[in-house]
Amino acid sequence: MKKLYTINTVNNFMEIIYNPFVKPFADREGLEVYNIMDDSLLSDTRKYNGMTKSIASRMLNYAKAAESSGADGIIVTCTSVNEATKQIKPFLQIPILNIEEPVAEMAVRDGQKIGVLATIPTSPLAINRVIREKAGAMGKQVEIVSAVAEGAFEVLCAGDRAKHDEMVCEALAELAKQVDVIAFAQISMSQIAFEPVGVPVHMIGESGLMRLKAMMD
């Protein structure tokens, strides 16, 4: 049985990431899963408005620990730290992937004016970089319109999922008026049920797990 390690940056990851997404996928695909969590990674990324050498160094330490523990692959579930994932990849002998990467590809595929919706200000900066990289690889010009449902992440962490979802749905409806396609910037938003908004909406979750599984195989 292959071993999948996750690196998480929120202390409620079991509720918003592992139980709804990782566990069902692992059960279906026959994977053994182990989880690493350090919420200082996201806290520091927000504090310094982006990646730092210290954050990347800690990420590398976790990834090397997973590798030495027999991991066959690592999924990083936080969009905001994806620059660190890119930086540490050359130092590993196993695949590592940020879970939002396939969503960035799908957004570029489906539209020229791409909406990015987040609940944390650092998330659009991180996924926008990946969207531009994917667009460049596809030879496509894109325009990105970012929106943040301010305060929604804190509401979710405080346990009020209904209010969080309401705030995100309001921001989603407004953003949809301006763009061809929308990419959610965080997996923490991916359990939301919403009415159709007239454009494709790509949510982070299984697509990233499927990509990593293919890399592991």
Rounded to an integer, what distance in angstroms lies between the CA atom of residue 102 and that of residue 79? 12
Please indicate, yes or no, whether residues 177 and 105 belong to a single structural domain of this protein: yes
Torsion of CA 158, 159, 160, 166, to 10 degrees: 90
Q: Assess whether 187 and 212 both reside in one domain.
A: no
**Chain centre to alpha carbon of residue 64:** 21
Please name every residue paired with 36 in a beta bridge, in sequence order, or none if there are none.
7
Amino acid 199: pLDDT: 97
Rounded distance between C-alpha atoms, residue 98 and residue 93, angstroms: 16
* Residues 152-169 pLDDT 10s: 999 999 999 999 999 999
Strands 181-184 and 201-202, by their bridges, are parallel
| pLDDT at residue 147 in the model | 97
Verify that 24 and 57 share a domain, yes or no: yes
Contact call for residues 82 and 187 (beta carbons, < 8 A): no
| CATH assignment of the domain containing 47 | 3.40.50.1860
Let me know whether 74 and 85 are in one domain.
Answer: yes
> Does residue 112 sit in the same domain as residue 197?
yes
**Whole-angstrom distance, CA of residue 201 vs CA of residue 13:** 23
Could you tell me the two tokens for 205? Answer: 């979750």
Scan for tokens 């899963």, then name that residue: 33
Range(s) of the domain holding residue 48: 3-99+206-216
Domain check: are 105 and 88 in the same one? Answer: no
Number of structural domains the chain divides into: 2
User: 74 and 63: one domain?
Assistant: yes
Q: Are residues 12 and 38 in the same domain?
A: yes
Tokens 């026959």, residue located: 30
According to DSSP, the residues that pair with 63 across neighbouring strands are none
Residue 170: name the closest of 128, 125, 120, 119 by CA.
119
- pLDDT, position 154: 93
- Do 29 and 79 share a domain, yes or no? yes
Both tokens of 65, joined, read 């620990």
Q: Are residues 139 and 78 in the same domain?
A: no
Residue 14 and residue 80 share a domain = yes
Which pLDDT belongs to residue 141? 95
pLDDT < 50 stretches in the chain: none
